[in-house]
Amino acid sequence: MSKKNSSDLGKANALKAAIVGKDVIIIENASDDGRLYGSVNSAVIATKINEITNQKTVSRLDVFLKKPIKEIGVYQVTLAPHSDITFEVRVIVSRSESEVVALLKSEKKDKKSEGEEVSEEAVEVKSEKRKKAKKAAEDSEEVA
Is the pLDDT higher at 31 or at 132?
Answer: 31
Distances from the Cα of 103 to the Cαs of 39, 52, 56, 75, 114, in angstroms? Answer: 18, 20, 29, 11, 16
57 and 23 both lie in a single domain: yes
CB-CB contact of 100 with 25 (8 Å): yes
Structure confidence at residue 112 (pLDDT): 59
The predicted pLDDT at position 118 comes to: 44
pLDDT for the residue numbered 13: 81
Over the chain, what is the mean pLDDT?
78
Residue 43's pLDDT is what? Answer: 92
Q: Does 9 share its domain with 78? A: yes
Q: Choose between 63 and 7: higher pLDDT.
A: 63
Residue pair 124/117 in contact (Cβ under 8 Å)? The answer is no
Angular region, 87: left φ>0, alpha ψ -120 to 50, beta rest: beta
What pLDDT shows up at residue 80? 87
As a whole number of Å, the CA-based R_g of the chain is 24
**Domain tally for the chain?**
2
Please tell me what DSSP assigns to residue 67. Answer: S
54 and 104 share one domain: no
- In angstroms, the CA 45 to CA 62 distance is 10
Of 53, 125, 124, 44, which Cα lies nearest the Cα of 91? Answer: 44
Q: Within this chain, do residues 115 and 136 fall inside the same structural domain, yes or no?
A: yes
Tell me the CATH number at 65.
3.10.430.100
Q: Which range marks the domain in which residue 19 is found?
A: 1-95
* pLDDT at residue number 135: 60
Tell me the per-residue pLDDT of 121-136, one tens digit each, with 9 for 90 and over: 544 545 555 556 556 6
**Domain identity same for 11 and 76:** yes
- For the whole model, what pTM was predicted? 0.69
**Type of residue found at 84:** D
- The reply to whether 3 and 67 lie within a common domain is yes
Residues 33 and 77 occupy one common structural domain? yes
* Residue 50: closest CA among 29, 21, 27, 81: 81
Say whether both 31 and 90 belong to one domain.
yes
Q: Are residues 78 and 130 in the same domain?
A: no
Q: What is the pLDDT of residues 42-71, one digit of tens each?
A: 999 999 988 988 888 888 898 999 888 999
pLDDT digits (tens, 9 = 90+) for 72-91: 999 999 988 888 888 899 99
